Amino acid sequence: MTDEPTEAGGTTRTTSSSGSTASGGGASPRPAAASSERLSVPKSSVCSRSYFVVVMVFFHVYIVNVIALLLYVHYSSGQEDAGPPGRDAAQGEQQHQQQQARSQRLPSSTQSLRDVSLPRVEGVRVGHVQKLSLVPNKVHEITTLSLKPLLFEIPGFLSEDECRVVMQLAHLKGLTESQLMVQDGQEELAKELNLSPEEIFNLLDINQDGQLQLHEILTHSRVRDGIWLTPENLQEIYTGLKVDKDENGLLSLEEFRLLSADAFQRFLLQRGVERSQLVRNSRHTWLYQGRGAHQVLQDIKERVTRLTRLPSTLVDLSEPLQVVRYEEGGHYHAHHDSGPVYPETACTHTRLAANASTPFETSCRYITVLFYLNSVDGGGETAFPVADNRTFDEVCLIQNGVDLMDTRRNCEKSNLRVKATKGKAVFWYNYLSDGKGWVGEQDEYALHGGCVVTQGTKWVANKWINIDPDYQRQARYQQLVSQQPEDEDEDEDGLTLHFDIHQEL
Ligand code: OGA
Ligand code: CA
Ligand code: FE2
pLDDT of residue 42: 42
3-state secondary structure of 65: helix
Q: With a 6 A CB cut-off, is 222 part of the ligand 1 pocket?
A: no
234 pLDDT band, cuts 50/70/90, is: confident
Per-residue pLDDT, averaged over 75-104, amounts to 40
Q: How far is the CA of 257 from the centre of ligand 2 (A)?
A: 15
More confident site: 199 or 187: 199
Q: With a 6 A CB cut-off, is 385 part of the ligand 1 pocket?
A: no
Ranges 68-77, 138-147, 304-313, 480-489: which has the least confidence: 68-77
pLDDT in tens, 288-317: 999 999 999 999 999 999 999 999 999 999
Ranges 41-50, 78-87, 407-416: which has the least confidence: 78-87
- Kindly report the length of the chain: 505
- Give the separation between CA 368 and CA 384, rounded to whole angstroms: 13
Q: With a 6 A CB cut-off, is 379 part of the ligand 1 pocket?
A: no
More confident site: 314 or 199: 314
| Dihedral in degrees, nearest 10, Cα atoms 379, 443, 467, 280 | -30
pLDDT of residue 342: 86
Per-residue pLDDT, averaged over 53-68, amounts to 63
Q: Which of 175, 285, 324, 405, when mutated, tests ligand 1's pocket best, judged by the most ligand atoms within 8 Å of its CB?
A: 324
Residue whose Cα lies nearest atom 10 of ligand 1: it is: 450
CA distances from 385 to 63, 144, 223 (A): 66, 17, 18
Is the peptide bond prior to 197 cis by the omega test (within 30 degrees of 0)? no
Per-residue pLDDT, averaged over 200-221, amounts to 87
Q: How far is the CA of 154 from the centre of ligand 1 (A)?
A: 16
pLDDT of residue 471: 93
Ranges 175-184, 407-416, 469-478: which has the least confidence: 175-184
Query: Measured from the CA of 368, which atom of ligand 1 is nearest?
Result: 6
371 pLDDT band, cuts 50/70/90, is: very high
pLDDT of residue 463: 98
- In percent, the amount of the chain with pLDDT more than 90 equals 47
- In percent, the amount of the chain with pLDDT more than 70 equals 69
Provide the residues around ligand 2 (an ion) whose CB is within 5 A. 205, 207, 209, 211
Is the pLDDT at 36 greater than 60? The verdict is: no
- Give the separation between CA 465 and CA 6, rounded to whole angstroms: 45
Q: Tell me which long-range contacts 236-244 makes (C-beta under 8 A, separation of at least 24).
A: 237/264, 237/267, 237/268, 240/267, 240/271, 241/267
Residue whose Cα lies nearest atom 4 of ligand 1: it is: 450
242 pLDDT band, cuts 50/70/90, is: confident
Is the pLDDT at 330 greater than 70? The verdict is: yes
Q: With a 6 A CB cut-off, is 228 part of the ligand 1 pocket?
A: no
pLDDT of residue 408: 96
pLDDT of residue 403: 92
H, E, C per residue of 410-462: CHHHCCEEECCCCCCEEEEECEEECCCCCEEEECHHHCEEECCEEECCEEEEE
Is the pLDDT at 111 greater than 80? The verdict is: no
Contacts of 475 (CB under 8 A, 6+ apart): 110, 113
- Give the separation between CA 276 and CA 103, rounded to whole angstroms: 54
Is the pLDDT at 383 greater than 50? The verdict is: yes
DSSP-based helix, strand, coil % in the chain, nearest 5: 40, 20, 40
3-state secondary structure of 242: coil
Q: With a 6 A CB cut-off, is 448 part of the ligand 1 pocket?
A: yes
